Structure formats: structure tokens, C-alpha cells
């Protein structure tokens, strides 16, 4: 008998936890900052209504209807489309391999915060040297001789152990129980940090930089592409997660409301993260006289700016250590809540097709995943290969999969049937406008995003030096080719479970 969510609350916490991740903390704030500040919120909210919500409704509804993950979903549409489902669930596995290394830094920093509180180390006022020791240095993506970070490798083991321990227990026994603890705790911690950051001297400088609108940019098509890309990627759509989660929903679940709650909760976290990050950066700009991008526009925001900001909140090292521990524990929770959904995405699809126990499958994937993460725990892996793989998967694979998914499900299965299924037990009914969005509006916008990304990527390759170009080919396009190759191998294996 197929497992199911025990409660609507458990499902929503799991779905929101899947959508909310470490990327929210820096991707949204700097996307808004670079793309018109307050003016960015207009295309952002348009993208939520016209893309994120319709696709979320579609994935939940279709997942529940076919009672399966991505591979079964596409195989039932048309046998030849099964390959699309396998490529979809390869994405979270690859992402988990490098995502776990970023989470691992939170684990290391949590331990050092405890040491800071007990006076064993004093690092929070200047976290650069510690981060340098953890991540190391390398000359290029091929510099494997530069070494491996044993700090990171040990912490990556902790991350994969948590993923393994939760997912092997199943939907109701593992993921739902963990999400009921992790997701509300994450929300509470982030709200606390947001309120505290707004109290910092100079916070208004950061908030003005984030929210002051530059309406001259609003007519720039790239701003709209950036908004749709942000919403699309931050909601974990088109990688098999939400189809898998939808497949465990009960027949009488309210699909439409659940979709709105999931998307709007994720968007709220985007805004909370934006306020927290830029209030903190405003404080540092005011205190140190640096620019907003002095700490980078990626992980540096969390691992450089926040320890410095926390260290200036109190002169008491015990309080500094406790606040630091809570903040990096918050990042750890955000990472784990997302990574367990990624592992479950693949598990659901594999269990639909092959006769293998959940525990055995989770054991295998966790071991393979840990070995893959070891590659990114090398100094060249973390400093070079990670960015390459992340860029190619996010910019080319996910957007393309989203485009193919919305066209295939809308035109082969039919938006009319999906709408009837979604509305059957929903308090808020969706109308024919939803059909038009999925059939025409969303595919056009995703198509523009895909074409823009490909053209931009190809043009950039012409200006690269030989080493950078080779790195892009081997680790960028090579990762894409590897994902497709493995997907083909799984696709060619015969179904051991009745697809009907």
C-alpha cells in the first residue's frame, strides 16, 4: 500500500521546507538589488501568480492523479517521454552532491560557535581565515592536487547521515515528522533574526538599497526573465519534488489552497531573507564603510557578513557564540529540509519502477551521493567545479525541463482534466484562466528564459581562456551529458512494477 501524508499540516511543512533553502538567503536579495530594487517586486509577484502557482497546482494534481513520481508521470503520458522524468530526478541528486558541501560549512561554523562561547577560539569578528581554512584554495577546476577539505568532508558525512536517517523511514514516518519540527523552527528563527537585524544601526541604509524602486529598469526584458527565473527555481518545480510529494496526498486534499500556501510561504521567506540580509549589510556598510557586495553575492553573505554582524551585537563572547550557533543551526535546518526532498524525489521515481525496498534504495543513493560530494569537498571542487555545475544545471537543465513539462502535461494529459481534479475538493476553484496560463503564457515565458540563457551562455564561451573553456566543457556540459546518460540507462531498464 502506498504511503500517505498523515496530515495536511505535515504535508505543507514538508512542501514549504522543500522550497525554502539556503539559496533564498542570498539569491533573492541580490536579484532584487541588481534588478531595480523595489521595482523588481512587480515582475516578481507577477511571476508568482502566472508561473509558480499554476505550475504548483499542476504538479500536485498530476502527482496525486497518477500516484507516482516524475518517471511514472511522464511514462503514463507517453512511453518515450519517460526519459524526461529520469532527467528531472537526476537534477536533485546532482544538486545534493554540491549542496551538501555548502550545508557542511554551517555544521563547521556551529561547532566553532560553541568553541567561541567557551572562549576556546575567537573568530567571529574575522571569519575570513576560518572560512579560508575550510574551503582552501586552488588554481583552477583541474587542480585536484591542491587537496581535500577534511573539515568539509567530515561535515558532509553528517549531512548525508541526516538525509539517510530521515528519508529511509518514509513519508509519514520520516519526512513528515522531521518537517513538522524543522520548518516551523526555521520560520521562527528567521523571523527572530529579521527583527533583530532591523534594530541594527544602519539597517535603514540596507533596506533603502533593497526596496527603493528604480522604475527605469522595469521595461528591461532581462528584469522580467530574472524574476521568473528566481520564482521558478526557488519553488523547487520541475525537478520531481512536488510531483512526488503530490503523489502521497489523500484524494480529498485541497490542492489549490495547498499550492497557494506553499508558494506564498516560500515567497514570504524570500522577503524575510531579503530584509535580514540587507539590514545586516546596511549595518556593516555603516560601521565599516564598505560596499554592499564586499562580502560577495553568494555564500559569503552568510559565512562572512553574519558572523561579523553577530560579533558586534554584544561584547559578551557567550552571547556571541549562542547567537552564532542559532543562526548557523537555522541555515543547517534550511539545508536539510531541502535536501531530504531532493533525495525523496529520486526515491519515489525509482520505487515506482523497480522492486527494491525503500531502506536499501536509500542506503545505495546515500553512499553514491556521499562519494559524489567528496569531489566537491576538494579545494578545486568547492571553489571552481561547484559553481560550474550549479550554473549549468540551474540555467540550462531546470528551465528546459520546466518548459517540456508544462507543454507535455498541458497538451497530452489536458489542462481541463487537471482543473477538474484540482477543483474537486478545493474551497477556492480555479477557472479557465489557469488553462490559458499553462498552455500559452507560461510556456512562452519559460521559452524566452531558456533561449536567453542558452544564447548568453554560448556568447560567454567565446571570451573564455583555454582553461576556463575546457572547465566549462568538462564540468559544465559534462555534468549535463552525465545526467542524461544515466537517465537513459534507467529508462532502458524494464518496469518491474505495474505502471497502471
SS3 at position 378: strand
SS3 at position 213: strand
Tell me the residue length of the chain: 500
Is residue 69 domain-resident? yes
Is residue 497 domain-resident? no
Residue-level pLDDT at 500: 65
Residue 140 and residue 191 in contact, taking contact as beta carbons nearer than 8 Å = no
Residue-level pLDDT at 152: 97
Residue-level pLDDT at 312: 84
Is residue 1 domain-resident? no
Is residue 3 domain-resident? no
Owning domain of residue 24:
8-492
Q: What is the DSSP letter of 233?
A: H
d(CA 28, CA 20): 12
- Say which CATH number the domain at 162 has: 1.20.1740
How many domains is the chain partitioned into structurally? 1
Gap between the terminal Cα atoms of the chain: 14
Is residue 2 domain-resident? no
Is residue 378 domain-resident? yes
214 to 70, 278, 414: CA distances (angstroms) = 41, 17, 41
CA quadruple 436, 438, 440, 442: dihedral, nearest 10:
130
d(CA 442, CA 52): 9
Residues contacting residue 373 through CB under 8 Å, at least 6 positions apart: 96, 97, 98, 100, 101, 156, 159, 160
Is residue 243 domain-resident? yes
Residues contacting residue 220 through CB under 8 Å, at least 6 positions apart: none
CA angle, 293 then 294 then 297, to 5°:
40
Instruction: Identify the segments of the chain with pLDDT beneath 50.
Output: none
Residue-level pLDDT at 399: 85
d(CA 24, CA 186): 13
pTM above 0.85, yes or no: yes
Amino acid at each position: 500500500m502506498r504511503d500517505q501524508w498523515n496530515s495536511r499540516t505535515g504535508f505543507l511543512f514538508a512542501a514549504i521546507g522543500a522550497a525554502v533553502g539556503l539559496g533564498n538567503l542570498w539569491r533573492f536579495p541580490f536579484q532584487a538589488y541588481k534588478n531595480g530594487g523595489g521595482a523588481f517586486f512587480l515582475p516578481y509577484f507577477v511571476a508568482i501568480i502566472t508561473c509558480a502557482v499554476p505550475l504548483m497546482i499542476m504538479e500536485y494534481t498530476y502527482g496525486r492523479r497518477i500516484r507516482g513520481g516524475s518517471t511514472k508521470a511522464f511514462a503514463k503520458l507517453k512511453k518515450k517521454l519517460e526519459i524526461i522524468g529520469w532527467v528531472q530526478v537526476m537534477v536533485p541528486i546532482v544538486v545534493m552532491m554540491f549542496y551538501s558541501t555548502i550545508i557542511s560549512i554551517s555544521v563547521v561554523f556551529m561547532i566553532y560557535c560553541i568553541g567561541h562561547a567557551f572562549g576556546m577560539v575567537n573568530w567571529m569578528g574575522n571569519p575570513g581565515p576560518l572560512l579560508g581554512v575550510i574551503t582552501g584554495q586552488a588554481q583552477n577546476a583541474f587542480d585536484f592536487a591542491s587537496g581535500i577539505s577534511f573539515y568539509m568532508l567530515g561535515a558532509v558525512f553528517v549531512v548525508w547521515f541526516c538525509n539517510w536517517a530521515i528519508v529511509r523511514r518514509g513519508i509519514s514516518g520520516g519526512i513528515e515528522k522531521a518537517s513538522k519540527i524543522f520548518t516551523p523552527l526555521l520560520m521562527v528563527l528567521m523571523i527572530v533574526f529579521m527583527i533583530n537585524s532591523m534594530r541594527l544601526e544602519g539597517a535603514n541604509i540596507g533596506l533603502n538599497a533593497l526596496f527603493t524602486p528604480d522604475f527605469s529598469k522595469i521595461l528591461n526584458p532581462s528584469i522580467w526573465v530574472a524574476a521568473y527565473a528566481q520564482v521558478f527555481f526557488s519553488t523547487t518545480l520541475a525537478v520531481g519534488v512536488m510531483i512526488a510529494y503530490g503523489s502521497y496526498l489523500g484524494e480529498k486534499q485541497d490542492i489549490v489552497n495547498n499550492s497557494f500556501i506553499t508558494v506564498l510561504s516560500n515567497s514570504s521567506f524570500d522577503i524575510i531573507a531579503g530584509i535580514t540580509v540587507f539590514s545586516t549589510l546596511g549595518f556593516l556598510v555603516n560601521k565599516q564603510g564598505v560596499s554592499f557586495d564586499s562580502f560577495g553575492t553568494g555564500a559569503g553573505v552568510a559565512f562572512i557578513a553574519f558572523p561579523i554582524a553577530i560579533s558586534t551585537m554584544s561584547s559578551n563572547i557567550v552571547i556571541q557564540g549562542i547567537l552564532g550557533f542559532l543562526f548557523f543551526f537555522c541555515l543547517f535546518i534550511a539545508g536539510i529540509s531541502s535536501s531530504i526532498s531532493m533525495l525523496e524525489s529520486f526515491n519515489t521515481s525509482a520505487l515506482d519502477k523497480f522492486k527494491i525496498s525503500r531502506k536499501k534504495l536509500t542506503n545505495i543513493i546515500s553512499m553514491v551521493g556521499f562519494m559524489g560530494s567528496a569531489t566537491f569537498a576538494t579545494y578545486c571542487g568547492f571553489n571552481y567545479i561547484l559553481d560550474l555545475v550549479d550554473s549549468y544545471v540551474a540555467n540550462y537543465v531546470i528551465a528546459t525541463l520546466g518548459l517540456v513539462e508544462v507543454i507535455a502535461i498541458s497538451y497530452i494529459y489536458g489542462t481541463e482534466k487537471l482543473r477538474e481534479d484540482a477543483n474537486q475538493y478545493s474551497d477556492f476553484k480555479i477557472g479557465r484562466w489557469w488553462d490559458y496560463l499553462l498552455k500559452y503564457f507560461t510556456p512562452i515565458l519559460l521559452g524566452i528564459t531558456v533561449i536567453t540563457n542558452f544564447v548568453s551562455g554560448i556568447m560567454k564561451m567565446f571570451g573564455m581562456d583555454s582553461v576556463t573553456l575546457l572547465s566549462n566543457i568538462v564540468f559544465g556540459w559534462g555534468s549535463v551529458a552525465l545526467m542524461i546518460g544515466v537517465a537513459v540507462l534507467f529508462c532502458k531498464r524494464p518496469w518491474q512494477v505495474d505502471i497502471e
